[in-house]
């Protein structure tokens, strides 16, 4: 089943304070946020580029890129670190709001070419030139990798929804990406928490979240406690919020 490449999000904005108080979202957007927890670090760096990373991980990534082959173990596949296998649809029916970055050379596993020895079947390698520790034969027989059952899909098969959360309610997401089920009482409590004095300064805006915003939200989630404000109230996002 195809998944959406754009989802809608309703923002409650304090126009006086120029901040997003919280967002109201359905199952699709919450599934996208929860799916971020499954991203390998190498994939995150490739999505944001090394220059877009905060801290030292970008330098660590570049070090692996630049290190000469003479210093890398011959049984090590550099792409295992730099281009970890990743699918943006790790759970069924999660919106495709991030580019699907796949390894240019998917990792292949190999088994011992001599398959009559039980001990040989215990060893796998990612290089067809490897030597079997049991019989010293070359390990160049391709092995088939089998994905485990998708527990997310099985758990929600009764509702035929897929993803991570149920779609029977609307969810409230704070500017720091705290996710809770929405209720009238919690909304009032949040307004008091934010110390909103002028209710007439509050605005509701519906924005579309596509891949561009998906990548920006990923970046903001690693750098800031005000992800929505950073992505949707910045100067470059001004057109998205215009009436």
Q: Determine the 3-state secondary structure of 235 from DSSP.
A: helix
Q: Are 93 and 1 in contact (CB under 8 A)?
A: yes
Query: 153-172, pLDDT tens digit by residue?
Result: 444 444 466 788 998 899 99
pLDDT tops 60 at residue 106: no
Query: 116-141, pLDDT tens digit by residue?
Result: 777 888 888 877 888 888 888 888 88
pLDDT band at 107 (very low <50, low <70, confident <90, very high): low
Residue labelled with tokens 């877009």: 52
For the residues of 11-56, what is the DSSP string, one character each? Answer: EEEETTTTEEEEEEE-HHHHHHHHHGGG--HHHHHHHH-GGG--SS
Question: Rounded to two decimals, what is the model's pTM?
Answer: 0.73
What does the alpha-carbon distance between residue 89 and residue 94 come to, in Å, rounded to a whole number? 6
- Burial (CB count <10 Å: 0-12, 13-18, 19+), residue 145: exposed
Helices assigned H by DSSP within 90-197: 151-155, 184-193
Query: 45-73, pLDDT tens digit by residue?
Result: 988 987 777 789 889 999 999 999 999 98
CA distance readout (Å), 135 to 56, 74, 115, 124, 146 = 43, 20, 10, 13, 26
What does the alpha-carbon distance between residue 86 and residue 37 come to, in Å, rounded to a whole number? 12
pLDDT band at 240 (very low <50, low <70, confident <90, very high): very low
Considering the chain, what percentage of its residues have pLDDT values greater than 90? 35
Q: Are 108 and 142 in contact (CB under 8 A)?
A: yes
């Amino acid at each position: 089943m195809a998944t959406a490449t754009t989802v809608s999000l309703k923002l409650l904005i304090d126009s006086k304070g120029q901040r997003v108080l919280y967002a109201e979202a359905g199952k699709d957007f919450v599934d996208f946020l929860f799916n971020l927890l499954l991203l390998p670090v190498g994939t995150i760096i490739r999505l944001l580029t090394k220059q877009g990373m905060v801290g030292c991980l970008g330098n660590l990534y570049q070090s692996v890129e630049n290190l000469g082959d003479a210093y890398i173990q011959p049984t090590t596949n550099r792409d295992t670190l730099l281009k970890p296998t990743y699918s943006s649809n790790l759970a069924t029916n999660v919106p495709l709001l991030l580019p699907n970055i796949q390894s240019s050379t998917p990792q292949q596993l190999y088994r011992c070419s001599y398959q009559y020895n039980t001990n040989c079947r215990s060893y796998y390698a990612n290089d067809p030139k490897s030597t079997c520790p049991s019989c010293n034969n070359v390990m160049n027989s391709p092995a088939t990798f089998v994905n485990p059952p998708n527990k997310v899909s099985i758990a929600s098969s009764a509702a035929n929804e897929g993803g991570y959360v149920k779609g029977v309610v609307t969810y409230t997401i704070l500017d720091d990406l705290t996710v809770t089920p929405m209720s009238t009482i919690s909304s009032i409590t949040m307004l008091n928490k934010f110390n909103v004095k002028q209710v007439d300064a509050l605005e509701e805006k519906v924005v579309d979240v596509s891949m561009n915003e998906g990548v920006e939200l990923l970046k903001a989630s690693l750098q800031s406690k005000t992800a929505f404000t950073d992505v949707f109230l910045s100067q470059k996002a001004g057109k998205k919020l215009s009436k």
